[in-house]
C-alpha cells in the first residue's frame, strides 16, 4: 500500500486517478471485510462520486490529501453516512452534518470510503463489544485487534487504506495500533476538535490518527488540528508543520523511562522489545533518563471512575424519544425509556452506565468521583515533573500482544488492565503515540508508547520517524491486500 505522498504524486503525474485509487481501496475493503469485519458501512457510490469531482477539478480547498482514501471510526459523524457507534440503539442513524475533522479532511482532498467497526460507544479494549460482531486481527483472525477503534486499526494494518481516524478516551487508538502493528497517535486534549465525535467521556475523548509511517500521521494531524469555534475545548495554539519536524535528527533529545512500569504484569516479550527500543534510541543519540510516575499505579481506578461517570451523563440522551432505536410495546413513557435502554445497549455499556451512576450518586460522590479528580491532578503533576527532565517518556503500549477472542471477556478487571499504560495520557491530557517495535514469538506485533508534554506532537512524530527509519517494522499480516 502506497503512502500518502506516493499516492498524491502518482495522481498529480497522471499515472493514476483519484477514481482508480479509491475504487482499488473500495475493492480491498469489500473483499477483506468478509474476513475482518472491519467496516460497518462502505460508501462506494459516494466515494466514487467524490473521486470523479476531484479528478474533474471541482474539489475546492487545499489538496494535501488529494484523492487519498480514508476510513472513519463509526462514532465520528459523516453527513449522510451511518453513525451507529457500534450500537443497536443508534443503528442506521445518519447525522445531518460532518464532524469538524471530516470537513477539514474533505477540504484537503481526502475521500471517505466507509465507517469502521468499534466497541459500542467506544467502550472496550478488544472490539468484542460491538453490536455488529467483533473485528478480527489481520495478523491472526483468532485474536482481537484491540479496542475500541479496532476496525480503523485493522483497515490500515491490512492495507485497505493508508490512514484512518479513530477516537481515544483511554487508549482506544494506541492500544489497537499496538495489537495490529501500526502507528496510533492521540493528540493533546484540545488539539483536534471533538465537534461531531459522539461523546463517551468528554474530558478524555480525543480524535486520533492511524497510519503506517510518521509522515502520513503528520500530514493527517496537520489537516485536522487547530482551533474550532464549534468546540470550546479546542485550544488557540498554533499548529506547527508536523511533516517538516520529521527532518530533524533526535541527537541530544532526552527520553524518560520509569522502570516501575516495566515490572509486574508485563509480558516478558513485550518488556524485551521495549528495552531493545530504548537501546535503539540511545544508539540514535538520545539520552535516556530515569523518571518517576508515582501515581501511575492508581490510573486504572481513577480512569474507570471518571470515564464511567462521564459516560453515565453523556448516554442519558439515548432514551428512544428523539432519534435512534425505540422499543415497541411499551405502555407508558417510563416503560419505553427502560425498555429502549435495556434492549438498545449492550452489557459493557450498561455496566459502565451503572458504575458511573453509582459514583455520582449522593453519598458516594465525595468518596469516589471527587477523590478520583484529586488523584487525576496528582497524575498531571507527575507528568509535569517528568517532562521537566525529558522530552518524552517511553512505556509499553499494551501489557501483552493480541489475545484470543473470549480470553478476557468474562473478566472485566482483566480486560480493563489492558489499558494500564494508556489511560494516564487521557487523564493528564498529554499526547501519546504507539509505534510498532517488534514481533512476539508467535508473530504478533508489539507496540511501544511515547508520551510527551502538551502540544509536543511534533517531537513525538520526530522520535517515531527516527526510530522507524533506523528500525523498519518487519512482518506482514496474514490478511493483507
User: With 90 as the cut, is the pLDDT of residue 289 above it?
Assistant: yes
Average pLDDT over residues 125-141: 97
Q: What is the pLDDT at residue 191?
A: 98
Q: What is the pLDDT at residue 58?
A: 64
The confidence band for 7, taking pLDDT boundaries of 50, 70 and 90, is very high
Instruction: Yes or no: say if 89 and 324 are a contact pair by the CB < 8 Å rule.
Output: yes
User: With 70 as the cut, is the pLDDT of residue 328 above it?
Assistant: yes
CATH 3.90.1150.150 applies to domain 4-248+403-470: no
The confidence band for 329, taking pLDDT boundaries of 50, 70 and 90, is confident
Taking the C-alpha atoms of residue 434 and residue 446, their distance in angstroms, rounded to an integer, is 10
Catalytic residues: 73, 148, 172
The confidence band for 59, taking pLDDT boundaries of 50, 70 and 90, is low
CA 253 to chain centre: 26
Residues 6+ apart with CB under 8 A from 274: 262, 394, 395, 396, 437, 446, 448
Q: What is the pLDDT at residue 368?
A: 96
Q: What is the pLDDT at residue 264?
A: 82
User: With 70 as the cut, is the pLDDT of residue 382 above it?
Assistant: yes
Q: Write down the residue that cell numbers 476531484 correspond to.
A: 54
3-state secondary structure the chain: CCCHHHHHHHHHCCCCCHHHHHHHHHHHHHHHHHHHCCEEEECHHHHHHHHHHHHCCCCCCCCCCCCCEEEEECCECCCCCCCCCCCCCCCCCCCCCCCHHHHHHHHCCCEEEEEECCCHHHCCCCCCCCCCCCCCECCECCECCCCCCHHHHHHHHCCCCCEEEEECCCCCCHHHHHHHCCEEEECCCCCECCCCECCCCCCCCCEEEEECCHHHHHHHHHHHECCCCCCCCCCCCCCCCHHHHCCCCCCCCEEEECHHHHCCCCCHHHHHHHHHHHHHHHHCCCEEEECCCCCHHHHHHHHHHHHHHHHHHHHHHCCCCCCCCCCCCCCCHHHHHHHHHHHHCCHHHHHHHHHHHHHHCCCCHHHHHHHHHHHHHHHHHHHHHHHCCCCEEEEECCCCCCCECCCCCCCHHHHHHHHCCCHHHHHHCCCEEEEEEEECCCCCEEEEEEECCCCCHHHHHHHHHHHHHHCCCCCCCCCCC
Q: What is the pLDDT at residue 410?
A: 85
The three cell numbers locating residue 250: 533526535
The confidence band for 323, taking pLDDT boundaries of 50, 70 and 90, is confident
User: With 80 as the cut, is the pLDDT of residue 62 above it?
Assistant: no
Instruction: Yes or no: say if 274 and 396 are a contact pair by the CB < 8 Å rule.
Output: yes
Among the listed ranges 95-99, 177-181, 281-285, 327-331, which one has the minimum average pLDDT value? Answer: 327-331
| Span 208-266, pLDDT tens digits | 999 999 999 999 999 999 999 999 999 999 999 999 999 999 999 999 999 889 988 89
Domain ranges of the chain: 4-248+403-470, 296-374
> What pTM, to 2 d.p., does this model score?
0.97
User: With 60 as the cut, is the pLDDT of residue 61 above it?
Assistant: no
- What percentage of the chain has pLDDT greater than the value 90? 92
Greatest mean pLDDT among 62-66, 312-316, 411-415 lies in 312-316
Residues 6+ apart with CB under 8 A from 478: 138, 139, 140, 141
Mean pLDDT taken over the chain: 96
Average pLDDT over residues 96-121: 97
First to last CA, the chain: 8
Average pLDDT over residues 48-75: 87
Q: What is the pLDDT at residue 263?
A: 84
The three cell numbers locating residue 469: 527509519
User: With 70 as the cut, is the pLDDT of residue 287 above it?
Assistant: yes
CA 277 to chain centre: 22
User: With 90 as the cut, is the pLDDT of residue 474 above it?
Assistant: no
Amino acid at each position: 500500500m502506497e503512502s500518502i505522498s506516493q499516492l498524491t504524486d502518482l495522481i498529480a503525474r497522471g499515472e493514476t486517478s483519484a477514481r482508480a485509487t479509491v475504487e482499488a481501496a473500495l475493492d480491498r475493503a469489500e473483499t477483506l471485510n468478509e474476513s475482518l469485519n472491519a467496516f460497518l458501512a462502505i460508501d462506494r457510490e459516494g466515494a466514487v462520486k467524490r473521486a470523479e469531482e476531484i479528478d474533474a477539478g471541482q474539489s475546492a480547498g487545499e489538496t494535501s490529501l488529494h484523492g487519498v482514501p480514508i476510513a472513519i471510526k463509526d462514532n465520528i459523524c459523516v453527513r449522510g453516512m451511518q453513525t451507529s457507534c457500534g450500537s443497536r440503539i443508534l443503528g442506521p442513524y445518519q447525522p445531518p452534518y460532518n464532524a469538524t475533522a471530516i470537513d477539514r479532511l474533505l477540504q484537503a482532498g481526502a475521500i471517505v470510503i466507509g465507517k469502521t467497526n468499534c466497541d459500542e460507544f467506544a467502550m472496550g479494549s478488544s472490539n468484542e463489544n460491538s453490536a455488529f460482531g467483533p473485528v478480527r486481527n489481520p495478523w491472526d483472525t483468532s485474536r482481537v485487534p484491540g479496542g475500541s477503534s479496532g476496525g480503523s486499526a485493522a483497515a490500515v494494518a491490512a492495507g485497505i487504506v493508508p490512514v484512518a481516524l479513530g477516537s481515544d478516551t483511554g487508549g482506544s487508538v494506541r492500544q489497537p495500533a499496538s495489537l495490529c502493528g501500526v502507528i496510533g497517535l492521540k493528540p493533546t486534549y484540545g488539539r483536534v476538535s471533538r465537534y461531531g465525535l459522539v461523546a463517551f467521556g468528554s474530558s478524555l475523548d480525543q480524535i486520533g490518527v492511524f497510519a503506517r509511517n510518521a509522515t502520513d500521521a503528520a500530514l493527517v494531524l496537520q489537516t485536522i488540528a487547530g482551533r474550532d469555534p464549534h468546540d470550546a475545548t479546542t485550544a488557540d495554539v498554533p499548529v506547527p508543520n508536523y511533516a517538516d519536524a520529521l527532518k530533524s535528527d533526535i541527537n541530544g533529545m532526552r527520553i524518560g523511562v520509569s522502570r516501575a512500569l516495566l515490572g509486574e504484569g508485563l509480558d516478558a516479550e513485550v518488556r524485551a522489545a521495549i528495552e531493545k527500543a530504548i537501546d535503539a534510541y540511545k544508539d540514535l543519540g538520545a539520552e535516556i533518563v530515569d523518571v518517576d510516575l508515582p501515581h501511575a499505579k492508581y490510573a486504572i481506578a481513577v480512569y474507570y471512575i471518571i470515564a464511567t461517570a462521564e459516560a453515565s451523563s453523556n448516554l442519558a440522551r439515548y432514551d428512544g424519544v428523539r432519534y435512534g432505536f425505540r422499543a415497541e410495546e411499551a405502555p407508558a413513557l417510563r416503560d419505553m425509556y427502560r425498555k429502549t435502554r435495556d434492549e438498545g445497549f449492550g452489557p459493557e455499556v450498561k455496566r459502565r452506565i451503572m458504575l458511573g451512576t453509582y459514583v455520582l450518586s449522593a453519598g458516594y460522590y465525595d468518596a469516589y468521583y471527587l477523590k478520583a479528580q484529586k488523584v487525576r491532578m496528582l497524575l498531571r503533576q507527575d507528568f509535569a515533573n517528568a517532562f521537566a527532565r525529558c522530552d518524552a517518556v517511553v512505556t509499553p503500549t499494551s501489557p501483552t500482544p493480541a489475545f484470543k477472542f473470549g480470553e478476557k471477556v468474562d473478566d472485566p478487571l482483566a480486560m480493563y488492565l489492558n489499558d494500564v499504560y494508556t489511560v494516564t495520557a487521557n487523564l493528564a491530557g498529554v499526547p501519546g503515540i504507539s509505534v510498532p517495535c517488534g514481533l512476539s514469538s508467535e508473530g504478533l506485533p508489539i507496540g511501544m508508547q511515547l508520551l510527551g508534554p502538551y502540544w509536543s506532537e511534533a517531537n513525538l512524530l520526530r522520535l517515531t520517524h527516527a526510530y522507524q527509519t533506523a528500525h523498519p517494522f518487519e512482518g506482514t499480516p496474514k490478511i493483507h491486500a
